[in-house]
């Protein structure tokens, strides 16, 4: 059935992108903004919590000004390590600072159809198919809702999307597409049914919840309420900032980090004030807006720097991070996609981001491509290999073998070679064939990646959800539908 | 100062994106008895055109375009009472009712579209974010809108773009207005599905589409 999950751990490569003094300056600047400029929290519940804890609350504007000490004390309550649970306990994910896990991107609105290649609007079956393929891939550790189930009513769409994932995969689900209290309550209920009760769910969170902030310096009311529901049930909750240079943040990278950090840590602190010790994570996918159009770019050197820098901030606050890497701005799987996804993921991995989001989407997280999904997994595998670095010991120095072969020989028939050759990376989607073979077929990694996806979809059978559980999930969704 | 020099300075204030300077020059022109329409068309608009050209050939960027748009707005705000006093008005390309739909608070793209539309010469009624369906329809009727432009960032709120189109049909306004939609999840297929008239992925494109839709 499902194999073991591939993660980056025990890295031999590291990067100091910011000095401790620089991180402290970013932190101090962030507290200054939260205390004097304030952050908008348009949720009555959130405002009540802030007020009860001594923050200055303006009910008219929903802007909250919080003394730095309150933020710092609240953040100290957050657990530094915990695990994301999976339906199959062998696939639990320890967020302990020594693992980088990969998920799918989300939430796209179109799909390059796996059979016809035609671009079309995304639907529920796509969420299910993507989850099924993700279930079989060792590189995929957890799921986001990859695309929107637009054939379901908006009211319960987020719940049907989760059902699609749980029915097709035994891995952890992290939803980024539930943004109100009503759906969040039902999602918790659904997760509890699968876990076997609310208390089990608290110990084994099969679901985590990711919410977006509303830059600059704001939160979304429904998202806050949904996150509070999740935290109450013991589900890990994270806030992602996408504040971007030029538009929703200053043109400078440092200023953009301050804006994003202020959004993330203020919301994280709120969760800790409401539910001290609740598992939380930092989340970020910052970028620079395009100079010509102001549009989201989904790539570029600024992205790559943010990808590494924000993990250092999360380390400073001692909480796990979910980092937006991949998610190229390219229109199709091409040079542009390869460059952006490799560099963004390398930078986010080299600093050991706990969760990487994610594989498969093109055009700034809008269009799903199965080719891209599989090729992104290969990028992750390459980085996984690079992060292992170079091991120097007697065995790897291989002096005896070098002496045996001596000048002019070759190493192909050495036992040492046989023993170690499988440590050499074997690509799935790089074309290393002779030129004439390529010339004859004119195919490449994109075709092979798509073939592999088609093959998985037609052969892989995920461990099914108990039919009784499945019908209970449907019952919960139906209740929300009627309500 | 000579009138010609004043016009040049006006254009320059727009190019530099200096709102205060532009407003100051507008006041000066009123004091000098210059026709406010001349101040706009011979002075400030030259700056807008220059920035537009520079932008088109890649020499200027979006923030410069936005600042020029804001400077233009500041100048026109000063000149408007004078226009009214003289019983004249600035010829606009059309009226646009603009908003982010109900349940959605994402603002920046919508606001950027508003700036680009005003800079292009449209009269923009920006209703802000989280605007209920019927409020949009009422506003379109009250101002006699030529275009209703709606933004949404979530697939779950995007459905209200369809609701607005249906409501416009219900009150018999649909054939009097063009409907433009925007936001990250909006695609050509969605536009077709809900029967909107146009969409653009970015603000500059939106201004171009608006002109196309009205044939101006």
Distance of CA B106 to the CA centre of its chain: 18
Question: What's the mean pLDDT in A248-265?
Answer: 98
pLDDT at B156: 87
Mean pLDDT estimate for chain B: 94
pLDDT at A217 > cutoff 50: yes
pLDDT at A3: 58
Report the percent of chain A where pLDDT is more than 70.
Answer: 99
pLDDT at A382 > cutoff 60: yes
Compute the nearest-CA separation of B17 from chain A (Å): 16
ipTM value for the complex: 0.85
Per the DSSP assignment, residues forming a β-bridge with A237 are A209, A280
How far is the C-alpha of A343 from the C-alpha of B12, rounded, in Å?
Answer: 42
Mutation test of the interface with chain B: which of A294, A296, A367, choosing the one with the most B Cβ atoms within 10 A? Answer: A294
Mutation test of the interface with chain A: which of B106, B119, B133, B156, choosing the one with the most A Cβ atoms within 10 A? Answer: B156
pLDDT at A274 > cutoff 90: yes
Question: What's the mean pLDDT in B197-204?
Answer: 91
Compute the nearest-CA separation of A313 from chain B (Å): 26
Contact status of B171 with chain A (Cβ, < 8 Å): no
Stretch among A264-273, A337-346, B132-141, B185-194 having the lowest mean pLDDT:
B185-194
**Contact between chains at B156 and A154 (C-beta distance less than 8 A):** yes
pLDDT at A318 > cutoff 60: yes
Compute the nearest-CA separation of A269 from chain B (Å): 22
Question: What's the mean pLDDT in A435-452?
Answer: 96
Which 3 state secondary structure label does DSSP give A404? Answer: helix
Residue A2 banded pLDDT, cuts 50, 70, 90: very low
Return the higher-pLDDT residue of B153 and A69. Answer: A69
Compute the nearest-CA separation of A393 from chain B (Å): 52
Residues of B in contact with A110 (CB under 8 A): 187, 189
How far is the C-alpha of A366 from the C-alpha of B155, rounded, in Å?
Answer: 11
Q: Which of residues 141-200 of A touch B (CB under 8 A)?
A: 148, 150, 154, 157-158, 179
Compute the nearest-CA separation of A118 from chain B (Å): 13
Report the percent of chain A where pLDDT is more than 90.
Answer: 97
Question: What's the mean pLDDT in B137-154?
Answer: 96
**Contact between chains at B185 and A158 (C-beta distance less than 8 A):** no
Backbone torsions φ then ψ of A97, nearest 5 degrees? 85, -10
pTM over 0.90? The answer is yes
> Quick check: A181 and A150 in contact, CB under 8 A?
no
pLDDT at A315 > cutoff 90: yes
Structure-token pair, residue B156: 């779950």
Contact status of A250 with chain B (Cβ, < 8 Å): no
Residues of B in contact with A285 (CB under 8 A): none
**Contact between chains at B202 and A214 (C-beta distance less than 8 A):** no
Instruction: Let me know the angle formed at the C-alpha of B208 by B88 and A108, rounded to the nearest 5 degrees.
Output: 135
pLDDT at A4: 87
Return the higher-pLDDT residue of A299 and B20. Answer: B20
Compute the nearest-CA separation of A190 from chain B (Å): 20
Q: Which of residues 335-374 of A touch B (CB under 8 A)?
A: 364, 366
pLDDT at A300 > cutoff 60: yes
**Contact between chains at A293 and B156 (C-beta distance less than 8 A):** no
Q: Which residue of A has its CA nearest to B65?
A: A292
How far is the C-alpha of A376 from the C-alpha of A103, rounded, in Å?
Answer: 11
pLDDT at A420: 97
pLDDT at B24 > cutoff 80: yes
pLDDT at A1: 41
Contact status of B156 with chain A (Cβ, < 8 Å): yes
pLDDT at B14 > cutoff 50: yes
Contact status of B37 with chain A (Cβ, < 8 Å): no
Mean pLDDT estimate for chain A: 96
Mutation test of the interface with chain B: which of A43, A226, A293, A363, choosing the one with the most B Cβ atoms within 10 A? Answer: A293
Contact status of A329 with chain B (Cβ, < 8 Å): no
Residues of A in contact with B103 (CB under 8 A): 222
Say which of B58, B108, B201 has its CB closest to residue A247: B108
Residues of B in contact with A295 (CB under 8 A): 201-202
CA A275 to each of CA A193, A201, A272, B8: distance values in angstroms, whole numbers, following the listed order: 23, 16, 5, 62
**Contact between chains at A296 and B155 (C-beta distance less than 8 A):** no
User: DSSP string of chain B?
Assistant: --HHHHHHHHHHHHHTT-HHHHHHHHHHHHHTT--HHHIIIIIIHHHHHHHHHHHHTTSS-HHHHHHHHHHHHHHHHHHHHHHHHTT--PPPS-EEEEEEBTT----HHHHHHHHHHHHHT-EEEE--SSB-HHHHHHHHHHHT-SEEEEE-SSHHHHHHHHHHHHHHHHTT-GGGSEEEEESTT--HHHHHHHT-SEE-SSHHHHHHHHHHHHT-
Mutation test of the interface with chain B: which of A295, A331, A362, A366, choosing the one with the most B Cβ atoms within 10 A? Answer: A295
């Amino acid at each position: 059935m499902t194999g073991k999950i591939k993660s980056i751990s025990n890295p031999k490569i590291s990067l100091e992108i910011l000095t401790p003094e620089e991180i402290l300056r970013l932190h101090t600047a962030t507290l200054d903004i939260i205390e004097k400029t304030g952050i908008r929290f348009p949720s009555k519940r959130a405002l009540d919590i802030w007020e009860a804890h001594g923050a200055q609350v303006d009910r008219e504007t929903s802007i909250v000004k919080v003394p730095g000490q309150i933020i710092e004390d609240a953040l100290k309550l957050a657990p530094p390590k915990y695990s994301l649970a999976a339906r199959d306990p062998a696939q639990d994910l320890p967020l302990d600072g020594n693992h980088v896990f990969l998920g799918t991107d989300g939430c796209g609105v179109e799909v390059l159809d796996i059979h016809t290649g035609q671009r079309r609007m995304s639907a529920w079956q796509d969420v299910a198919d993507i989850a099924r393929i993700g279930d079989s891939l060792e590189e995929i550790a957890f799921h986001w809702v990859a695309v929107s189930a637009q054939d379901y009513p908006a009211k319960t769409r987020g719940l049907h999307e989760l059902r699609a994932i749980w029915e097709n995969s035994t891995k952890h689900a992290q939803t980024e597409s539930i943004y109100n209290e009503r759906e969040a309550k039902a999602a918790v209920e659904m997760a509890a049914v699968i876990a076997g009760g609310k208390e089990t769910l608290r110990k084994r969170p099969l679901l985590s919840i990711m919410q977006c902030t509303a830059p600059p310096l704001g939160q979304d009311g429904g998202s806050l309420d949904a996150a509070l529901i999740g935290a109450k049930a013991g589900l890990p909750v994270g806030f992602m900032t996408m504040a971007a240079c030029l538009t929703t943040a200053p043109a400078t990278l440092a200023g953009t980090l301050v804006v994003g950090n202020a959004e993330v840590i203020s919301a994280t602190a709120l969760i800790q004030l409401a539910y001290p010790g609740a598992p939380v994570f930092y989340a970020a996918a910052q970028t620079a807006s395009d100079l010509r159009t102001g549009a989201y770019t989904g790539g570029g050197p600024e992205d790559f720097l943010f990808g590494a820098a924000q993990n250092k901030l999360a380390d400073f606050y001692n909480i796990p991070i979910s980092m937006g890497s991949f998610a190229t701005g390219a229109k199709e799987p091409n040079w542009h996609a390869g460059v952006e996804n490799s560099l963004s993921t390398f930078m986010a991995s080299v600093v050991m981001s706990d969760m990487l989001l994610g594989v498969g989407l093109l055009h700034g997280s809008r269009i799903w491509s199965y080719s891209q999904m599989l090729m992104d997994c290969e990028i992750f595998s390459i980085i996984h290999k690079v992060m292992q670095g170079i091991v120097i010991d007697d065995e790897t120095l291989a002096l005896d073998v070098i002496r045996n072969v001596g000048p002019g020989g070759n190493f192909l028939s050495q036992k040492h070679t046989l023993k170690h050759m499988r440590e050499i990376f074997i690509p799935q989607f790089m074309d290393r064939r002779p030129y004439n073979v390529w010339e004859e077929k004119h195919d490449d990694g994109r075709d092979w990646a798509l073939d592999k996806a088609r093959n998985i979809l037609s052969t892989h059978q995920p461990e099914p959800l108990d039919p009784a559980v499945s019908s209970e999930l449907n019952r919960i969704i139906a209740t929300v539908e009627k309500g | 100062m000579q009138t010609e020099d004043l016009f040049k300075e006006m254009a320059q204030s727009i190019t530099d994106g200096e709102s205060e300077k532009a407003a100051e020059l507008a006041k000066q022109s009123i004091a000098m008895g210059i026709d406010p329409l001349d101040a706009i068309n011979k002075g400030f608009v030259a700056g807008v055109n220059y920035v537009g050209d520079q932008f088109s050939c890649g020499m200027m960027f979006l923030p410069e375009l936005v600042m020029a748009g804001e400077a233009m707005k500041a100048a026109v705000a000063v000149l408007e009472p004078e226009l009214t006093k003289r019983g004249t008005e600035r010829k606009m390309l059309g009226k646009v009712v603009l908003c982010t739909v109900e349940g959605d608070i994402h603002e920046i793209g919508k606001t950027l579209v508003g700036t680009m539309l005003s800079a292009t010469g449209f009269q923009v009624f920006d209703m802000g974010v989280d605007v209920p369906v019927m409020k949009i329809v009422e506003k379109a009727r009250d101002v006699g809108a030529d275009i209703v432009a709606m933004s949404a960032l979530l697939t779950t709120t995007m459905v209200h773009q369809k609701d607005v189109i249906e409501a416009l049909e219900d009150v018999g306004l649909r054939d009097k207005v063009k409907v433009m939609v925007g936001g990250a999840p909006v695609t050509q297929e969605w536009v077709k599905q809900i029967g909107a008239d146009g969409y653009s992925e970015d603000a500059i494109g939106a201004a171009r589409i608006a002109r196309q839709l009205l044939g101006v």
